[in-house]
Amino acid sequence: FYASVAQAEEPVLMNRPVGVLTTDAPNAACIAASHEAKQCGVGMGTRQDEARQLCPGIVFRAVKHDVCVRYHHAILAAVETVVPVHRVWSIDECSCLLTGSEQDLDRALDIGRALQAAVLDQVHPALRCSVGLGPTRLLAKIAAGLEKPGGLRWLLPEVLPDKIAHLPLDKVPGISRRMKDRLEHAGIMDISALYRLDPKRARAIWGNVAGERLLRELRGETVVWPETRRGMI
């Protein structure tokens, strides 16, 4: 998102590798990389010297938080012209609830395409958002990550777990590197094994009910998560 904003602000950077830095300082780390830079192996945490080796010709820009917030609000406004925003999760992620006939897959895909077009037309062509469709937020989020940028993918129980069996465990939102190690220690080596896991055992591995909730969402079941209070700078 930060790299796309940098490209939108400087159209000359479109289709060029861009790294966005925490600060304009020697060998600062990247907090984001454009799609072109990612293809060369540049990612979050890559320092300037390493990024230059991986991707000759990469351009660096320091993050401008106020500009990114402005684009964030513009994107939300564009989304609202197609479907109401249900919840904002971060500066580059929101979720929308589809109801009634909108839940038909063909209709949902049409809505996803219209949403992407609205962002491109009303915000900037550099903002190629990915859209994921699913019966749960977890599946929709995983689907959105299957193709970036500009992807439109869906996940329903009838294609699971095969459709995501190739992903490493820590690509599932909610599974950190430490939790991945814990799962592997328990003999859960891949997503297919996680999908088959007994919910009570998931509770035991996580040490709380969050494991069962994640597993049920992964299977497409409706799960009610308790409201949490969050602060964000």
Q: What percent of the chain has pLDDT over 90?
A: 92
What span, in angstroms and rounded, lies between the C-alpha atoms of 145 and 126? 18
Choose between 6 and 230: higher pLDDT: 6
Local confidence band at 25 (pLDDT 50, 70, 90 cut-offs): confident
- pLDDT value at residue 142: 97
Give the active site residue among 93, 102, 158, 217: 93
92 pLDDT higher than 60: yes
230 pLDDT higher than 80: no
What span, in angstroms and rounded, lies between the C-alpha atoms of 163 and 153? 11
232 pLDDT higher than 50: no
| 149: preceding bond cis by omega (within 30 degrees) | yes
231 pLDDT higher than 60: no
Give the DSSP letter string of 154-172: E--GGGTTGGGTTS-GGGS
* Rounded average pLDDT over 97-119: 97
- pLDDT value at residue 227: 66
Give the DSSP letter string of 168-229: -GGGSTT--HHHHHHHHHTT--SHHHHHTS-HHHHHHHHTSTHHHHHHHHHTT----PPP--
* Rounded average pLDDT over 21-30: 88
Cβ distance 56 to 68 under 8 Å? Answer: no
Q: Is 50 a catalytic residue?
A: no
Local confidence band at 233 (pLDDT 50, 70, 90 cut-offs): very low
- Mean pLDDT of the residues in the chain: 94
- pLDDT value at residue 86: 95
Task: State the DSSP code for 21.
Answer: E
